[in-house]
Amino acid sequence: MSLIQVKNLSFSYDKKRPVLADITLDLDGRSTAIVGQNGAGKTTFVKLLKGLLKPDFGEIHIGKTSVKEATVASLARKVGLVFQNPDEQIFKGTVRDEVMFGALNLGQDKETAETRAREALERVGLGHLSETNPQDLSLSEKKRVSIASVVAMDPEIIIFDEPTIAQDHAGKEQIKHLIRGLQEQNKLVMTIIHDMDFVAECFERTLVFNEGKLLMDGLTRDVFSRQDVLHQAHLEPPSVTQLGKKLGFAETFLTVKELVSGLRNGGNR
Amino acid sequence: MKQIIVDGLKYRYPGAETLALHDVSFEISKGELIGVIGRNLSGKSTLCQSFVGLVPHFYRGAYGGKVIIDGIEVKKSTIREMSRIVGMVFQNPFTQISGSKETVYEEVAFGLENIGVRRSEMIERVEQALEMMDMERYKDRSPFDLSGGQMQRLAIASMIAMKPQVIVLDEPTSQLDPQGAEDVFQAVERLSHEGWTVIVVEHKLEKIAQYADKVLLLDGGRRVDFEIPSKVFSRGDLEKHGVTAPVYTRVCRALDCRMKDSDVYPVTLDAACEVLKKCP
Amino acid sequence: MNSISLYTERDSIIHHIHPTNKVIYIFASILVPILLPSFAVLLGGALFGLILLLIGKVFKRALPMIGFVFLILLTVIIIQGLFHPTNSVLVFTIGPAAFYQEGLLYGLTITLRVMNIVGAFLILVLTTKPSDLVDSLVRRGLSPRFGYVLNSVFQILPQMMVSMKTIMDAQRSRGLETEGGLRVRIKAFLPLIGPVVLNALTHVKERAMALEVRGFHAEGKKTFLYEEKSYIATKPIQWGIWAVIGLAVIGRLMG
């Protein structure tokens, strides 16, 4: 089922140099990673999906709603976007109030919002910090607070911008777990991300952006098997994929587990 | 004689209940590239700041033990004096820009103006630093008009223009894209080749494994290990200390393929490939 | 480049006059009319300012600002013309409104006085790069710390405007309504301004540390990357302005 339809989307900030040129794609329920160099147009793309920017040409439909005609605040019900820098949104005195803010904006009553906030904080592993002042948290905790504040709004589509920044091993595991949980709830999870190892482990589908164009759109495994495409987009395949290739395997490995069993079975070398 | 001696360092931030650093000791020789790893809040940043004197002189708080760099004890010195010996690059490239200069070129000169370097020498040093960080072509740009990776290289250039003996980088690539991170790491490696002592905090362990001479593993403010990368990353209890070994190491561990004539696993792509090809 | 400075790059003699001389000129434009409050002095001063703006090739840039100030001052002239307490000589009437000479002249005097100062100020800001001004002040003994603050205002404010935009997007994304009536906007104020302030505060700490390790508080004499720009006739102009002020003082004492 198609959740987002993008047709011939083009955009430029100054009406001269296009930042995005003629993007057409359909997004369904599969978790999707958006990769590409800085300046490839990834952030602009998700801002357009969210209605924060208006396209020069083309159409975006979220379900039946045309993004052009909806206000940002009304789209907030359907599409949640977690910004890269949590410092650019956090302003409340406690973590719980911060996480409730979005839910309250959507018109939920205080009780529901509180319950949702509590659940969302549990899901990012910060349940014990709900009474803390967010300004006393580390960057990685703040980042997870900002994630929870969007999860608490319970949108159908959640878009992350670099969720793994500043996260250590435990933080990454927590986010991985959250993403899987959201998928099980049948939400569309998308992310802009630079961490290819993380993409390989968590996302079914990958969009490669390069210089404002959609260079490739496919299953993550297929994308990472295309050295030529990755090279053109100045990206490196995940470490595990690189090792598999270097060992002479024809297939593309995405996880340590896959490669290990490939090696055990002798594989296709 | 070792260039850096850390001896029984203990530190607690003002108002904190627990120690940020707990009896940490190790020594570093001139020209070594040291990677510092550990989970968040394990004391990595605090340790970095103790080299340049921000701990304890900027934060104050309770301090015990010694940090001696080039024969100077940090606690008995000042930040001003230490910053001539130790150059530091912070995590957020944006906050390191002085904000008072209009071009990259002027920005690199900022610190040199402050410490009163002669004009002719200043120009020479600025140009050298820009060249080393591959930033010459941006010299007339506004520092704010740079990408994250370029900004971070500007921060490093500004620091090396001051000609410190030791260079400390606190998670310099955490906010950069892979290309930016790779550029910064290559710059760091160049510094190391030029003979500088470099200490770098980093979450990207594949990079540490590739570039570092030694790895310092911290957990809960304590030193867990201080060894060559392959030894540290071959530890069985690594995850208990909040760190995942590089992918290459994990694959080899799963198959129990060790380096030739030793009990450690490979930590880089090339080494892993070689070992796995021979491993039964 | 992103900047809040009004500086307009042109090649003119005025651009090559020392920034401190322009500051002294502002000083003179305030002081002389106070010392010699005659209509001729005021008019002469205002005309002189306009001529300098013309020579500096920035008259066109200055015009809207002068026009704006003049519009405000026009109301002063009207009100004084109607209601000044010493009004006695009627000049003209528009319907029921009667305008008197004393009030009109008084309003005009105020207008010219302000124009004098505005003109002098515009000469400074339109023909001087802010960093050159700060630089020359630091070389003349202004604390480098203070100089840094002045300089950074011109650089960091535009950056704050950029981050304000991101903050707005982030809060709108969480369903915050920012468009609409006054009530809606007041309600949106805190979520928007909160992160700006908090962000600035955390940045201040990090920036302070970064500055500290770059020798910001180093003792001893600071040096400069650039040699001081060469300015024309710095001393003669400086003495010239002082002489005018001096003459005004003498004129006042004698008169």
Q: Residue C228 contacts by C-beta under 8 Å, 6 or more apart in sequence?
A: C135, C136, C139
Per-residue pLDDT averaged across C113-138, rounded?
90
B15-45 burial: b if 16+ Cβ within 10 Å, else e:
eeeebbbbebebebeeebbbbbbbbbbbbbb
Contacts with A102 from chain C: Cβ below 8 Å: 174-175
- pLDDT, one tens digit per residue, over B209-253 is 999 999 999 999 999 999 999 999 999 999 999 999 999 999 999
Q: CB of A153 within 8 Å of any CB in chain C? A: yes
Does C103 lie in the same domain as C18?
Answer: yes
The helix (H) or strand (E) run that includes residue A189 is strand A188-192
Residue B6: exposure state from Cβ atoms within 10 A (0-12, 13-18, ≥19):
buried
Fold of A1-78+155-236: Rossmann fold (3.40.50)
Nearest to C223 among B79, B99, B113 (CB): B113
Nearest to B248 among A170, A236, A239 (CB): A239
Q: What is the pLDDT of residue C2?
A: 47
Compare all CA atoms of chain C with the CA of A99 and give the residue at the minimum distance. Answer: C174
pLDDT at C1 over 70: no
Does C174 lie in the same domain as C89?
Answer: no
Contacts with B96 from chain C: Cβ below 8 Å: 206-207, 210
End-to-end Cα separation, chain A, in angstroms: 38
Q: Is residue C109 a part of any domain in this protein?
A: yes
Domain B2-229: top CATH class:
alpha beta
Nearest to C151 among B100, B112, B119 (CB): B100
Length of chain A, please? Answer: 269
Q: Are strands A157-161 and A79-82 parallel, antiparallel or unpaired?
A: parallel
Does C170 lie in the same domain as C79?
Answer: no
CB C224 within 8 A of CB C139: yes
CB B135 within 8 A of CB B104: yes
Q: What is the pLDDT of residue C3?
A: 56
Contacts with B84 from chain C: Cβ below 8 Å: 215
Q: Which amino acid is it at C144?
A: P
Does C167 lie in the same domain as C53?
Answer: no
CB A87 within 8 A of CB C199: yes
Q: Which residues of chain B fall below pLDDT 50?
A: none
Nearest CA of chain A to the CA of C175: how many Å? Answer: 4
The helix (H) or strand (E) run that includes residue C105 is helix C101-127
Nearest to A170 among B171, B242, B251 (CB): B242
**Would you list the domain boundaries of chain B?**
2-229
Radius of gyration of chain B, Cα coordinates, nearest whole angstrom: 19
Q: Is residue C163 a part of any domain in this protein?
A: yes
Q: Is residue C206 a part of any domain in this protein?
A: yes
Across the interface, whether the CB atoms of A246 and B250 are under 8 A apart is answered no
- pLDDT, one tens digit per residue, over A99-132 is 999 999 999 999 999 999 999 999 999 999 999 9
Does C124 lie in the same domain as C18?
Answer: yes
Per-residue pLDDT averaged across A74-78, rounded?
89
> Considering Cα of C30, then C31, then C36, then C41, what sign does the dihedral take?
negative
Nearest CA of chain C to the CA of A103: how many Å? Answer: 8
Instruction: Say how far apart CA A49 and CA A6 lie, in whole Å.
Output: 9
CB A164 within 8 A of CB A6: no
Instruction: Say how far apart CA C123 and CA C65 lie, in whole Å.
Output: 12
- pLDDT, one tens digit per residue, over A49-75 is 999 999 999 999 998 899 988 888 888
Across the interface, whether the CB atoms of B162 and C222 are under 8 A apart is answered no
Does C170 lie in the same domain as C199?
Answer: yes
Q: CB of C2 within 8 Å of any CB in chain A? A: no
Q: Is residue C246 a part of any domain in this protein?
A: yes
Nearest CA of chain C to the CA of B147: how many Å? Answer: 14
Does C159 lie in the same domain as C57?
Answer: no
Q: Which residue range(s) make up the domain with C43?
A: 14-129+232-254
The helix (H) or strand (E) run that includes residue C99 is strand C97-100
Nearest CA of chain C to the CA of B39: how many Å? Answer: 21
Does C106 lie in the same domain as C70?
Answer: yes
Of B196-205, C45-54, C186-195, minimum mean pLDDT range:
C186-195
Does C150 lie in the same domain as C122?
Answer: no
Does C158 lie in the same domain as C57?
Answer: no
Does C155 lie in the same domain as C75?
Answer: no
Q: DSSP letter string over B13-37?
A: -TT-SS-SEEEEEEEE-TT-EEEEE
Compare all CA atoms of chain B with the CA of C207 and give the residue at the minimum distance. Answer: B95
Q: Is residue C5 a part of any domain in this protein?
A: no
List subunits contacting chain A, requiring 3 or more Cβ pairs under 8 Å: B, C
Q: Which of C173, C185, C190 to mutate to test the interface with A (most CBs of A within 10 A)?
A: C173
Residue C201: exposure state from Cβ atoms within 10 A (0-12, 13-18, ≥19):
exposed
Does C195 lie in the same domain as C156?
Answer: yes
User: How many structural domains does chain C have?
Assistant: 2
**Would you list the domain boundaries of chain A?**
1-78+155-236, 93-153, 238-269
Q: Are strands B166-170 and B197-201 parallel, antiparallel or unpaired?
A: parallel
